[in-house]
């Protein structure tokens, strides 16, 4: 299994488009670092299974890095934290009761439901929301929040956060997608549902009007997908 070693734990991503919800925010003081529990999806690395497209199955201690949107594992000999490489060769990953699939543009996404030919998935991330400028006496002032962040691209495609003066506010976000039988991911919206269930457009349009479906809400998405699957 080829891997790529992370060069720095203080890496962050910004500018990811299409996020639907922000579940929580985390403020990190200028003299502190983001905690491990905030940076990862699970509180600790847990034994999971990587299923490859060629039929191979590999078990490892896995966790999803929300900051980098990368699946990582612990390398036993030296206990290094490494990132799975060549994600396109992976069919899916299982951690506890959760299942993840990969999309070239969006990365690893958690499966929320399987509806026959369509899967509902969630892309999750931890992003920089604000950087509070450092005021007098080295204290951070919320009134001077700025949106821009000094950053530097790294050779693994991530964004390295440079030294910033002031508190950093992170937001934990998720966005929903629909994945078809061919593994193609579509934004979870009205257009995508109608495309995936093209033969039932009229019934689905009626359902959307009658139920005021919110496509940014996981519960509403599950209901409309259950309805659409039932039509078939």
Q: Could you report the per-residue pLDDT of 95-154, keeping only the tens digit for each?
A: 999 999 999 989 999 999 999 889 999 999 988 776 654 443 344 333 333 233 344 333
Q: Which residues pair with 206 in a beta bridge?
A: none
Q: What is the mean pLDDT of the chain?
A: 78
Whether residue 82 contacts residue 73, with contact meaning beta carbons closer than 8 Å, is answered with: yes
Indicate if the pLDDT at residue 215 is higher than 90.
yes
Q: What b/e string do you get for 162-173 counting C-beta neighbours within 10 Å, with b at 16 or more?
A: eebebbbbbbbb
The residue-averaged pLDDT of 171-196 equals: 94
Indicate if the pLDDT at residue 155 is higher than 60.
no
pLDDT tens digit string along 13-41?
A: 333 444 456 567 777 776 667 777 788 99
Indicate if the pLDDT at residue 221 is higher than 80.
yes
- pLDDT value, residue 141: 34
State if pTM tops 0.85: no
The string of DSSP codes covering 59-74 is: EEEEEEETTTTEEEEE
End-to-end Cα spacing for the chain: 40
Indicate if the pLDDT at residue 94 is higher than 90.
yes
């Amino acid at each position: 299994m080829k891997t790529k070693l992370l060069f720095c734990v203080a890496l962050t991503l910004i500018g990811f488009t299409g996020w639907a919800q922000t579940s929580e925010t985390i403020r990190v003081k200028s003299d502190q670092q983001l905690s491990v529990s905030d940076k990862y999806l699970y509180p600790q690395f847990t034994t999971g299974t990587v299923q490859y497209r060629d039929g191979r199955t590999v078990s490892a201690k896995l966790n999803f890095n929300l900051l980098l949107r990368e699946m990582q594992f612990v390398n036993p000999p030296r206990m290094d934290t490494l990132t799975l490489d060549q994600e396109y060769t992976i069919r899916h990953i299982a951690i506890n009761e959760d299942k993840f699939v990969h999309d070239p543009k969006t990365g690893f996404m958690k499966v929320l439901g399987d509806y026959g030919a369509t899967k509902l998935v969630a892309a999750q991330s931890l992003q920089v929301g604000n950087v509070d400028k450092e005021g007098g006496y080295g204290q951070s002032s919320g009134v001077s929040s700025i949106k821009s962040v000094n950053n530097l691209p790294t050779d693994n495609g991530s964004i390295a956060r440079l030294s910033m003066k002031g508190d950093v506010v992170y937001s934990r976000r998720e966005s929903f997608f629909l994945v078809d039988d061919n593994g193609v991911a579509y934004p979870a919206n009205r257009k995508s549902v109608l495309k995936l269930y093209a033969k039932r457009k009229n019934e689905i349009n009626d359902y959307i009007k009658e139920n005021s479906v919110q496509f940014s809400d996981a519960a509403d998405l599950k209901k409309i997908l259950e309805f659409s699957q039932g039509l078939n």
